[in-house]
Structure 1
Amino acid sequence: MSAPVTEAALLAVEQNQTVFGGALLLALPIALLAGLVSFFSPCVLPLVPGYLSYVTGISGTDLGEARRGRMALGASLFVLGFTVVFVSGGALFGGIGMTLQEHREIISRVLGGLTILLGLFFMGGMSWLTRREFRFHAKPERGLWGAPMLGILFGIGWTPCMGPTLAAVTNLALVDGTAGRGALLMVVYCLGLGVPFILAAVAFRKALGAFGWVKKHYAWVMRIGGLMLIATGLLLVTGAWDHLVQEMQVWTSGFEVGI
């Protein structure tokens, strides 16, 4: 005998009947901005030249003279590696979120409060926790062959460093997700984090100049990221997120393909 279908479960099914439903349209730009903030944060940006040197097999002093094709390929393989890690996690948490739709309201408020705390923490600078990484004694082969594995290790080892922004995207996957939506949110997060890696590889010398400007304005990077997290948390805690989702659901009612 099948279990009774709750009103919350029916609502979840209705909300997930469109690819670009209201919740997803709201969450995608947040995920993209979270990825960009992660890239420009103090614990990632200074390491970009080192990563590019490792994944291309080219010494740091020669990066500016290296072939763009090799640089772009090495960076792309590196990005592919950490994308696999984050997208897998997004699908997992999205699937978990779908099974908890009956308790969606309380989960939304709890995760909203957590997101606000993460935003306040982020604006205060990176503490000892987010500066840490998990150390791996075994290193992949230097060069193009080792680039995907280095990306995987980056995705696993630097998760604490990118914790606040990554957690915000994970929270959105839990609140409104299915496995497909959770994975899609992480794909967009990885675009925000990964595309600058690839652009830095293609135009390394120009990127160094831009990075220098960003380093001088790290405080604003942290403030923008923190304010984004706080705003998202407030939407979840107050229930305004659900109201916006319902409004956007009306706008997107013409899309009938599920995800």
Structure 2
Amino acid sequence: MIGAGSISTTLQDRLARLFAGVGSAGGNTLARIRSEHPAAQFGVGALLGVAWSPCVGPTLGAAIALAATGEGSAQAAVVMTVFSLGAVLPLLAAGLFSRSAFARFRERLLAAGNGGKKLMGASLLLIGLLVLSGLDKRLETWLLDFTPAWLTELTVRY
């Protein structure tokens, strides 16, 4: 459903109407916050945390599980540090990329976002079809024949 919704503008419109109330509530809340006061910035960060939690939860769980299965605390620290950098750097970049820069590149960013949405939707549909047909296992076997041994060992070690 998500894949089809990402590709079809008709489904996108229907989903947008379905969730318009939630988006409007968040947008209205953010529009009321105009202050540069630290408390206002904390509030925006808290709202971002609420919106981000469902997305980051599974990834954070996987990182914690990977760190827990490590051979020591140093390995766990490295895993969590890499996860933290991966989570923080895009947010930091977005925060530093000013509103004026976003406005300047708005049309190009929207076009890239629409293209990326369609690509993601097609990928999700393809993966779903591969899993449903069982072809994902054949593809995995075929890819393992071409993968260097060190890479295969790295992926199954954790």
| TM-score relative to the length of structure 2 | 0.49
Decide which structure has greater helix share. Answer: 2
| TM-score relative to the length of structure 1 | 0.34
